[in-house]
Structure 1
């Protein structure tokens, strides 16, 4: 049994019907079809996820109409917990759902298995959807932030979470040698076609930074990557170690007007300005520059964000 198929033809058909029902807004039909799939394949983790989503949607619809059924909320939570138990590597991202519903840790670390599966499945339509569908402009905004005090040239740069190479392509002649890092092989395959990276590494960001030589880079960039990282202290400390004195880090985040870090219904983290400043300072970085930046649009509205630039002190 895989996460996307049960091995039972009838169960898989009912799962497909359940997906179609949910896409059309029929959460009752989706739940019924998912339950029928699980009667035949009770260890089908993806069907438990779908059942949870259907129950959650039905609960939300009732809450909006003033007729919420508390039992549906708990039933959705149980479905997500069952999926998590059947998927110990969290390929399906259940920690996000459980945290969002208040049933688990407030700031889960998204598993490499989940992120790899998410972006490998997204790779083929990634650029078209991001740029044309969501108006994504993170790389251009980061380059503008880097050039704010005049253009510079960086000998060695690292593109963390490089994806298909949109950020690397935007950097262009600013960089002499560019290393791309991503944990999704399908993304790296598309980045390789661009011919802009001296080296591409299949790895998670934390693992790569822990093994990279100290003081080996003049620039680290992360475009639309830290929206999948709750606590920034660790990754920024790793970047600070890898940067040479005077080196810069440039990244984008989603932002919010409250305090700390919040996990949104989109499964992405939003960071308050004070939270970013604290993490930057704890990493030993300086000259923080925070600028408002809407790196993409969703449902016709700008998503609040920031471009962030910081520098490793010369001494």
Structure 2
């Protein structure tokens, strides 16, 4: 007799853990099953799907590929591999995997639409936007989405996965059809590597107005954005009360609950009317103002004890003017805290239209008017296949 757990036992335990959302435990179980029986296709599939559930898409591809390569792999296994490849930006591989699935049985509607997007994006990468978009309706069938929607998605997705030339070509195609599109005009500059030192106000306003209704769901639920809470914790380590607080670039008011612990009067400032409407509905603010950040700071000298800028300075390259204005708006001893996307040296315009900043640059540009209290590296959010690394900075205005 033996009490040794078999590969099948590990497989069944892992399936239960996966179904109950215990993904780390599931991954260990699937891996143990495979260590005992490397040919166990169900364990390969389960491990890949468990990685998909935790958004570890790169890790998911290898076991999904192994599962799809097993003899007599069903169509759904090829479709699962296709989804994993899509989420890693391998659009040609995704389309091919869907086509292998379709050879076994007809694709479901969602799979067919994802296949159509993947093949369209792959053709764009190979160099022809017009050809790709002209072929899309036949690939997608009766449920085909509007070509403008596909082009918008292509521009965003191709940029995220580093296909800058293809993204630029799609952006130029879109801008030619709508020359007054402030969002596309700026993002085309960004993906083309133009020399720009901040996102223009018309872009910021139009961009955030366009997705104010879905902003919280996308940023918090899908991208796991938690910067305001952690920034507030850092601030609380140095002071527990502020009389006047400014939430700079307040958006939909995600920072308001974290700032409530400090008491005092809370003012929110944002360029987007749509975002401010959501912030008003959320509550927690004594005053909400539609204004440009630097101009507002300049117009309110000595008005605040805490300036809180979560996920806002990523739309500025050169931060010198912002720090000068923040110093002017803060009372002596006041705190300025901000989050930045991590960069190397100085600042860099990213293809996303945001800017990254080196930590040393941020500390240097703060100048003699501020004392650096703390810097902390964190994962700001997820994007594409990986977390976006960033830094939280905490400064005190010198007396």
Common topology (TM > 0.5): yes
- The 1-side partners of 2:292 and 2:176 are apart by 24
* Structure 1 residue 225 displacement after superposition: 0.7
Conservation of the 8 A alpha-carbon contact between 2:244 and 2:306: yes
- The 2-side partners of 1:171 and 1:84 are apart by 44
Flag structure 1 segments of 5+ consecutive residues without an equivalent: 1-18, 37-45, 64-71
- Corresponding residue of 1:95: 186
- Corresponding residue of 1:39: none
Flag structure 2 segments of 5+ consecutive residues without an equivalent: 1-112, 136-147
Seen in structure 2, the aligned counterparts of structure 1 residues 246 and 118 have a Cα distance that, compared at 3 Å, is same
- Report 1:25-174 matches (<5 A): 25-27=119-121, 28=123, 31-32=130-131, 53=155, 76=169, 79=172, 83=176, 86-87=179-180, 91-102=182-193, 104-105=194-195, 107-149=196-238, 151-174=239-262
* Structure 1 residue 263 displacement after superposition: 2.0
* Structure 1 residue 51 displacement after superposition: 12
Does 1 or 2 have the higher relative contact order (CA < 8 Å, sep 6+)?
Answer: 1
Conservation of the 8 A alpha-carbon contact between 1:35 and 1:51: no
- The 1-side partners of 2:219 and 2:380 are apart by 10
* Structure 1 residue 312 displacement after superposition: 0.8
Conservation of the 8 A alpha-carbon contact between 1:254 and 1:269: yes
- Report 1:160-199 matches (<5 A): 160-199=248-287
* Structure 1 residue 138 displacement after superposition: 0.7
Which string of whole-angstrom CA distances, capped at 9 and with x for unpartnered residues, describes residues 144-195 of structure 1?
110223x410000100010111112211130310000011111111111222
User: As a proportion of its length, which structure holds more helix?
Assistant: 2
1:280 matched to 2:366:
yes
Conservation of the 8 A alpha-carbon contact between 2:348 and 2:356: yes
Seen in structure 2, the aligned counterparts of structure 1 residues 252 and 22 have a Cα distance that, compared at 3 Å, is farther
* Structure 1 residue 74 displacement after superposition: 11
Instruction: Please give the secondary structure, in 2, of the residue aligned with 1:267.
Output: coil
Which string of whole-angstrom CA distances, capped at 9 and with x for unpartnered residues, describes residues 9-65 of structure 1?
xxxxxxxxxx999844404485347689xxxxxxxxx89x869949x78xx77x9xx
Worse-matched range after superposition: 293-302 or 107-116: 293-302
* Structure 1 residue 226 displacement after superposition: 0.9
TM-score (norm 2): 0.59
- Report 1:163-312 matches (<5 A): 163-212=251-300, 214-256=301-343, 258-281=344-367, 284-312=369-397
Aligned pair count reads: 266
Conservation of the 8 A alpha-carbon contact between 2:252 and 2:278: yes
Seen in structure 2, the aligned counterparts of structure 1 residues 122 and 156 have a Cα distance that, compared at 3 Å, is same
Seen in structure 2, the aligned counterparts of structure 1 residues 305 and 91 have a Cα distance that, compared at 3 Å, is same
Conservation of the 8 A alpha-carbon contact between 2:192 and 2:351: no
Seen in structure 2, the aligned counterparts of structure 1 residues 278 and 130 have a Cα distance that, compared at 3 Å, is same
